[in-house]
Amino acid sequence: MSKTQTYSFNLPTRGAEIDGRYRVVEQIGEGSYGWVFAVEHQFLGQTFAMKILHPRVASDPSWVVRFREEAKSTSLIGHENIVFVTDFGKCRNYGYFFVMEHLEGASLDAVIAEEAPLGMQRSLRITLQAASALSSAHDLGIVHRDLKPGNIMLVERSDGSEASKLLDFGISSIVMVAAKSSQLYGTPAYMAPEQAVQPDVDHRADQFSLAAILYEMLTGQKPWLTTSWDDATPEARTTPPRPPSELREEVGEALDEVILRALSVRFEDRWSSIDEFSRGLVSACSVQWIPKSDPLDFWAEATEVDEVAPQVTVRTPSAGESLVIVLDDVGDVDFETRPQVTVRFRTADRLAREYRRNLLAGGLFLPSDEQPELHSEVDLCLVFEPSARSLEVRAQVVAHSSPAGERGGFGVAISADDRDRLTHFLRSLRLGLELSQADVVRPMREPTPDEDLSAAEAFLFSRIDEAMPVAKIRTFASGLPFDVEQAIQSLVERGCLEIEPADLSSLSEVSQIHEAEVWATELPTEARTPERVRTAGAAALVDDDTRLPWLDEQGENGGKRGSLAEPSEISYSRQEVGRVLAMVRYFKARQNYFGAIQVLRKALEVSPSVPEFYHQLALLHAQFRGDYPRAFQALHGAIQLDPQNDEYKRTRAYLEKLAGLDE
């Protein structure tokens, strides 16, 4: 007869100190895996949410791995609709904990319980925001696997608009593989049928869950009556759900078709990607998407990285310069002038981000101090500078925006008549938007000595020494200042790589992707850093005379804390250094300090001779973690590389003062 284990555990009370850095404000939640507290970071004075793991969970090493991997997997996605995990640790009194962004708002399940059915426009906006976040996660091979209304938080932005936040990646694909778990997890009412019978599922499982949530928002009912795990199996769902329009007439047949396809019991019958599902939703209804600014533009501008943010010019021609003949309501000829707006995207990465943030829903945000009148029509010219391609479309100004602390601008909605042309144009640019996470990239030949590879091309080629899925490449390149898809395409055009499309009708590639994710997150840094970039491209290399030791920050992965390791030989350009620092400032502004540290770690793996990377790392270790030995180690690296820098000397005096106060 088995015994039920009991646990004695004292929860922290108001004012209790945790890990020497956090002070408990109040308990704000409780679940089957632990308790959630609002805590104040004592060094930063900022409020976070802390989850303390239940002893039943924390006593199982596989669960500890799960939560650590959740922190790693979500910190670098950097999507505004995903809550980030900013710290993970263990303290003597309360055991394991992780720290998250603190949100004030309401969970979607509470909103549905009180207000369902929700408004059409609101339901679609929530769905499209969640789809955009999932698209970014899927790019890295991360499948959420537990998407439900309780894991979506609705919060208010600084401009008063509503935003959704995805929570709890605790049973995501990357987490479960890291924990070596083959158990079945999920929420029966929302999980895909295949998830009820097998642990390995792909991105289309998240699509099913999101469609089930949208169905419930629109109708106030779940697609199927589900009271137990058995009710979620494929056999129990042979009868399709009622079309939403039968429960709510205004939904319409076109939207019925989009939702019901995403709810197909056979995953092969669903939309091929979450992006395709989003496009289907937008085309099936007249949703008015309000474009949102990209906060990274502001920090890139502040760091003087002039190629990141799109360059916008607004010109209103005089009446005699550009006339448009129109007929008014009574058939008389009238004349009007339309503002001419040009937006120049200077990197593939930035255009891809805009695609997922706004273009996917038929909108575009233009950062500009000059703003045409609200509701006015404009002639918009979209320019992609790397390939000197452009497209002219008609658009309407639908929003003016001045986000707190960020640059203002205006949002436009692309004319419905031009959206197909826009989609075709974006696909023709070969931004990697159509690359599946399971598409396989294979090395074909070594670059020749006279091929001058960029830093991005040299870095990727040095890592792709065997066939690997796109998700694996995106994972190890996340947080780096490279246009990854563009670099892949460039190497394909050179004949150095080839892309083999994946068979989306099979789940066999998922295990390969999972293995790739573990490879990318668990191996020691030294094993992932090439000893020598396999190309003679001079622009991508640093001479042996300039090679310097760099601080190994991967103590938990086998390297000794504070030890010196051999650098790789790829050198960032000035602009790429600026983009790294822009990402660091962006993550810090969002209080995602774990993400900022991860960005700097990855940057040092690739280009270890940039003193400012060490300087920023030193400040983060001191101010966020209170880890002064590691902070001084990092600062020592900065001073070694730039001994004449007075700012680094002032930082050393500052750290000495902080360390003295902390004693």
**pLDDT tens digits along 356-378:** 778 877 889 998 888 899 889 99
What does the pLDDT read at residue 384? 93
- Check: CB of residue 297 under 8 Å from CB of residue 409: no
Confidence of residue 531 (pLDDT cuts 50, 70, 90): very low
The amino acid that residue 581 corresponds to is: L
Res. 446 pLDDT band, cuts 50 70 90: confident
Tell me the pTM: 0.69
- With a pLDDT cut of 90, the percent of the chain lying above it is 26
pLDDT number for residue 648: 94
Pairing of strands 34-41, 47-53: antiparallel
For residue 613, pLDDT over 80 is answered with yes
Residue 49 backbone class (left: φ over 0; alpha: ψ -120 to 50; beta: rest): beta
**Taking residues 652-656, what's their average pLDDT?**
90
Q: How far apart are the first and last CA of the chain?
A: 52
CA distance 364 to 292: 8
Q: What's the confidence (pLDDT) of residue 453?
A: 82
Mean pLDDT of 317-322: 57
310-424: which CATH topology? Thrombin, subunit H (2.40.10)
Does residue 321 carry a pLDDT above 70?
A: no
DSSP H helix total and E strand total for the chain: 22, 22
pLDDT of residue 185: 63
Asked whether 178 and 522 are in contact (CB, 8 A), the reply is yes
Higher pLDDT, 137 or 534: 137
Banded pLDDT at 523 (limits 50, 70, 90): very low
pLDDT digits (tens, 9 = 90+) for 227-273: 887 888 888 898 899 999 999 999 999 999 999 999 999 989 999 88
> Which pLDDT does position 119 carry in this prediction?
93
Q: How confident is the model at residue 287 (pLDDT cuts 50, 70, 90)?
A: low
Out of 91-95, 196-200, 280-284, 651-655, least confident range:
196-200
Name the CATH superfamily, with its identifier, for domain 17-101.
Answer: Phosphorylase Kinase; domain 1 (3.30.200.20)
Yes or no: say if 394 and 380 are a contact pair by the CB < 8 Å rule.
yes
**Quick one: pLDDT band at residue 650, thresholds 50, 70, 90?**
very high
Residue 568 pLDDT greater than 60, yes or no: no
Is pLDDT of 92 > 70? yes
pLDDT at 404: 52
DSSP letter assigned to residue 570: B
SS3 per-residue string spanning 571-627? CCCHHHHHHHHHHHHHHHHCCCHHHHHHHHHHHHHHCCCCHHHHHHHHHHHHHCCCC
Distance, in Å, from the CA atom of 207 to the CA atom of 212, rounded to the nearest integer, reads 9
Residue 69 pLDDT greater than 60, yes or no: yes
Quickly state the pLDDT bin for 20 (edges 50, 70, 90).
confident
651, pLDDT greater than 60: yes
The neighbour count for residue 20, using CB atoms within 10 Å, is 11
- For 239-248, b/e burial (b = at least 16 CB within 10 A) is eebebbbeeb
Measure the CA–CA gap between 183 and 178, rounded to whole angstroms: 13
Q: How many CB atoms lie within 10 A of CB 203?
A: 28
Pairing of strands 340-345, 311-315: antiparallel
**Residue intervals in the chain for CATH 1.10.510.10:** 106-284
> For residues 127 and 214, is the Cβ–Cβ distance under 8 A?
yes
In sequence order, which residues have a C-beta less than 8 Å from that of residue 581 and are 6 or more positions away? 303, 305, 612, 616
DSSP state of 194: G
**One-letter identity of residue 570:** I
Considering the chain, tell me which residue range(s) the CATH 3.30.200.20 domain(s) occupy: 17-101
Give the model's confidence band at 645: pLDDT under 50 very low, under 70 low, under 90 confident, else very high.
very high
E-only strand ranges, 121-251: 152-156, 162-166
Task: Pinpoint the residues of the chain covered by CATH 2.40.10.220.
Answer: 310-424
Averaged pLDDT, 602-612: 87
The DSSP output letter for 320 is T
Alpha-carbon distance 278 to 361, whole Å? 7
User: Peptide bond before 193: cis, by omega within 30 degrees of 0?
Assistant: no
User: How far is Cα 77 from Cα 474, in angstroms, rounded to an integer?
Assistant: 11
Hey, CA dihedral for 30, 35, 40, 46, is it positive or negative?
negative
Q: DSSP letters along 54-102, please?
A: PHHHHTSHHHHHHHHHHHHHHHTT--TTBPPEEEEEEETTTEEEEEEE-
CA 470 to chain centre: 16
**What 8-state DSSP symbol labels residue 23?**
E
Select from 1.10.510.10, 3.30.930.10, 1.20.120.1200, 1.10.260.40 the CATH code of 106-284: 1.10.510.10
Taking CA 579 as the corner, what is the angle to CA 576 and CA 580, rounded to the nearest 5 degrees? 90
**pLDDT for 290 beyond 80:** no
Residues 628-637 have a mean pLDDT of 92
Residue 424: which H helix or E strand, with range? helix 419-428
**Distance (Å, rounded) from C-alpha 284 to C-alpha 264?**
18
Residue 15 banded pLDDT, cuts 50, 70, 90: very high
Q: Range with the lowest mean pLDDT among 266-280, 490-504, 611-625?
A: 490-504
d(CA 462, CA 284): 44
Per-residue tokens: 307: 């190629």
On the question of pLDDT at 286 being above 90, the answer is no
Question: What was the pLDDT predicted at 605?
Answer: 82
Q: What is the mean pLDDT of residues 26-46?
A: 86
Do residues 443 and 461 make contact, with C-beta atoms less than 8 angstroms apart? yes
Residue 410 φ/ψ, nearest 5 degrees: -145, 150
